[in-house]
């Protein structure tokens, strides 16, 4: 197996040869990273992204997507920049035209190993779910999860720069949002069907009035503080 140094050497080479100038500053993602990876000999390039680091409740969800460069769904973008209908339409196309793997890290894992490591664990699981496995990864962010042994490049703000990462951000968000809507039916009053577990005024007020559920992240300060103050717990 090649040394980790070789993985990073390839990563820097890929970053260095990406086009500069106006094309690099476009507001929407393109396939420059993917095409350069192919020119370096990689055949299966997967974009990887996660959603759900900031919420006070629910899992963190990651997706890994291998796009067909000859059939890239039009309109791919950072999932946060898309409306619900556009995101749903693109999600359907991505599942139809690409290879997709989605995975999670649980609330218990988030509390045990911290949210950053749990996010990386979800990414590792998503990558492991692709069969056959990819031979190169484009990871959203500035860190490569330590459990990945496949050559990889961390792309800061990658969901707005790489079509593969954008696709991963879309399917991950759709999946996690659906989970939170379902949990909202089981635990009404927290507004999860609209805030998706993020610390909105409605959510934090409900924490004070209704207490902490089994789906809340106890290691996050607002939840921890309520438990510390001996507020009621409702599972």
3-state helix, strand, coil in the chain (%, to 5): 50, 15, 35
Whole-number pLDDT of residue 27: 78
35 assigned to some structural domain:
yes
Inside any domain, residue 233: no
**Residue ranges making up the domain that contains 193:** 185-228
Q: Are residues 54 and 116 in the same domain?
A: yes
For residues 129 and 230, what is the distance between their CA atoms, to the nearest angstrom? 41
d(CA 94, CA 124): 20
122 and 103 part of one domain? yes
CATH code of residue 29: 3.30.420.10
Q: Over range 68-83, report the average pLDDT.
A: 94
Q: What is the pLDDT of residues 19-41, one digit of tens each?
A: 333 344 457 999 999 999 999 99
Asked if the model's pLDDT at residue 15 lies above 90, the reply is no
| 46 and 96 both lie in a single domain | yes
pLDDT at 94 over 70: yes
Q: Is residue 29 domain-shared with residue 8, that is, in the same domain?
A: yes
Q: Are residues 91 and 152 in the same domain?
A: yes
- Tell which wins on pLDDT, 97 or 17: 97
186-219: pLDDT as tens digits: 999 999 999 999 999 999 999 999 999 999 999 9
Q: Is 63 exposed, middle or buried (0-12, 13-18, 19+ CB in 10 A)?
A: buried
Residue 205 lies in a domain: yes
Which among 153, 176, 199 is the end of a domain?
176
Distance (Å, whole) CA 90 – CA 7:
32
Residue 18 pLDDT > 60: no
Nearest to 44, CA basis, from 63, 69, 61, 62? 69
Give yes or no for a cis peptide into 132 (omega within 30° of 0).
yes
As for how many domains the chain has, the answer is 2
Looking at the fold, whether 99 and 204 belong to one and the same domain comes out as no
In a domain, 142, yes or no: yes
- What pLDDT shows up at residue 230? 53
Residue 100 has pLDDT above 70, yes or no: yes
Is the same domain home to 57 and 141?
yes
120-129, 131-140, 220-229: segment of lowest average pLDDT:
220-229
Q: At what angle do helices 163-186 and 32-39 cross, to 10 degrees?
A: 120
């Amino acid at each position: 197996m090649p040394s980790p140094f070789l993985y990073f050497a390839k990563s820097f080479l890929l970053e260095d040869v990406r086009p500069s100038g106006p094309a690099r500053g476009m507001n929407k993602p393109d396939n420059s990273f993917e095409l350069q990876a192919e020119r370096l000999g990689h055949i299966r390039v997967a974009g990887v992204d996660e959603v759900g680091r900031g919420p006070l409740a629910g899992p963190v969800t990651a997706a890994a997507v291998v796009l067909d460069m000859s059939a890239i769904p039009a309109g791919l973008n950072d999932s946060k920049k898309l409306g619900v209908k556009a995101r749903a339409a693109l999600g359907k196309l991505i599942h139809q035209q690409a290879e997709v793997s989605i995975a999670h890290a649980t609330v218990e894992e988030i509390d045990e190993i911290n949210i950053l490591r749990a996010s990386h664990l979800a990414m590792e699981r998503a990558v492991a779910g692709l069969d056959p496995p990819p031979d190169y990864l484009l990871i959203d962010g500035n860190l490569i999860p330590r459990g990945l042994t496949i050559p990889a490049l961390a792309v800061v703000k990658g969901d707005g720069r790489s079509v593969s990462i954008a696709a991963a951000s879309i399917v991950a968000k759709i999946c996690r949002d659906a989970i939170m809507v379902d949990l909202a039916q089981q635990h009404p009053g927290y507004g999860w069907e609209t805030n998706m577990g993020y610390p909105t005024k409605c959510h934090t007020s409900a924490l004070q009035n209704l207490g902490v559920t089994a789906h809340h992240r106890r290691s996050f300060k607002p939840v921890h503080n309520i438990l510390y103050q001996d507020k009621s717990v409702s599972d």
